[in-house]
Structure 1
Amino acid sequence: MEIKIQPMGPYQTNCYIATVDGKDFIIDPGVDATTWVLNNVTNPVAILNTHGHFDHVWSNAEIKEKLKLPLYCPKDDIFMLTDDPLGQGTPKSIPDYEVIGDEELTLEGVKIKYRHFPGHTPGNSIIEIGDVWFSGDFLFQQSIGRWDFPSSSGEDMVKSLEKAMEIEGNYTLYPGHGLSTTLKAEQRVIPFWIDQVKRSI
């Protein structure tokens, strides 16, 4: 797999293009991502959202229209794409496919697995392709996503972190912000974060 990365917008949200067997998957196209995406795809297949926050989905509609692509988003976060609950002026986008929970998809012969880790948002998920996790705002290098936003849940975050601790195998993590890391590296610090979240709720 070839992975292209470009931080976008005021929050430097990582937009990814994952190319598998010559097929391009656009992951979390944030603020002003369209030009970069158009310049870096050759055979685009789909747009994949890890969750619904505006800085990860801002360019969904524009890229969807220009490239005539299907849009995939976790079902529980679709209201963020359609209703702009944080009042950021996010362009409205309508998913073509609602991902429910832990769901494995096959898109043009490529297996794409969503793993549902709610807490940061109700639908918050990672996107697994092979041995890579596009972890959105769930796990970062030495950190985790915030659980104090509207629609966030500290209780759900604790359960998600405990679920992540149980997953075996090593995955390379490409987060929504910052540098890449590995699941094994983050499993060493997840117990600290579980304790921090529990103390706050």
Structure 2
Amino acid sequence: MTLRRVVVGVLETNCWIVDAGGQTLVVDPGDQPDRILAATEGLDVTAILLTHAHFDHVLAVPALVDAWAVPVLAHPAEAPVWPHELATVRRDGHWDAGTATADVLAVDPSRLAAPDRLWDGAFTPVADLEDIPIGPLTARVLHTPGHTPGGIGLLVGDHLLSGDTLFPGGPGLTGPPLSDFPTIIGSVRRLLALPGETLIHPGHGPGTTVAIERPRLDEWVRRGW
């Protein structure tokens, strides 16, 4: 397996390219489709998978579906998230980037403006523990709600693409609508039950391992975020 990262968009989202046996799965194409197309040139992309449907993980979807004619995979519980994102940008005139919103707007408001063409929200549902073939490999879907209702991780061998559920130093953001801290802690417990050598590749920033993060779980529960 070859695992490559392309960092895209205003929130520097990790778009993951998983390639094995001549087939490729693209995870979280958050923006800048031209860069993702360049990174996958010559590869046989068979599907796009979304760990969740926040704007910074989906903006390149329309252009890539046009280019590849492949399905978009997501968990069915994620269905309300993209409509909520669209309602927010229409109401406020910009995307909600969580704790980064004020800083981005202060520097360049256009970076949180919606593009002319947006994803239509259509996806093919995948279930918890479903296996997705990538050439000779299988990638297992893990439903990890909390950051969003239908958040998922993807386990490929000893590599975990954790989306925005688990980062070095704790769980992903909760507090906004459709998120829940006790729920994400349950999901984090599930991920930290994986073998210690499991490599965690999150939706933003650098990676870590289960062994590094597992001892800090009680600390995260106590602090409440």
Which one has a bigger Cα radius of gyration?
2
**How does the TM-score come out when normalised to structure 2?**
0.80
Structure 2 counterpart SS, 1:61? helix
> C-alpha deviations, 1:69-120, integer Å up to 9, x for none?
1110111113333562432347123444212333223355531211111111
Partner SS state of residue 39, structure 1: helix
Distance 2:20 2:135 in 1: 10
For 1:85 and 1:129, the matched residues in 2 are separated by 34
For the aligned residue pairs, the C-alpha RMSD in angstroms reads 2.0
Once residues 102 and 74 of structure 1 are traced to their aligned partners in structure 2, the CA distance between those partners, rounded to angstroms, is 11
Gaps of 5+ in 2: 90-94, 96-113
Q: Distance in 2 between matches of 1:159 and 1:127?
A: 17
**CA deviations over 1:44-84 (Å, ceiling 9, x no partner):** 11101111111011111210111111110111113333562
Normalized per residue, the structure richer in strand is 1
Number of aligned residue pairs: give it.
Answer: 197
Q: Report the identity percentage.
A: 26
8 A Cα contact 2:171 2:184, kept in partner: no
Q: Secondary structure at the match of 2:88?
A: coil
Letter matched to residue 58 of structure 2: V
CA separation of 1:152 and 1:74: change in aligned 2, threshold 3 A: same
- Classify the secondary structure of the residue corresponding to 1:189: helix
Task: Flag structure 1 segments of 5+ consecutive residues without an equivalent.
Answer: none
Alpha-carbon spacing, 1:129–1:78, altered in 2? closer, same or farther (3 Å): same
Over 4 Å off, 4+ runs: none
What SS does structure 2 have at the residue aligned with 1:101?
coil
Aligned partner of 1:148 among 172, 175, 195: 175
Is residue 167–residue 208 contact of structure 2 (8 Å, CA) maintained in 1?
A: yes
Paired letter, 1:13:
T
Structure 2 counterparts to residues 4-19 of structure 1, below 5 A: 4-19=4-19
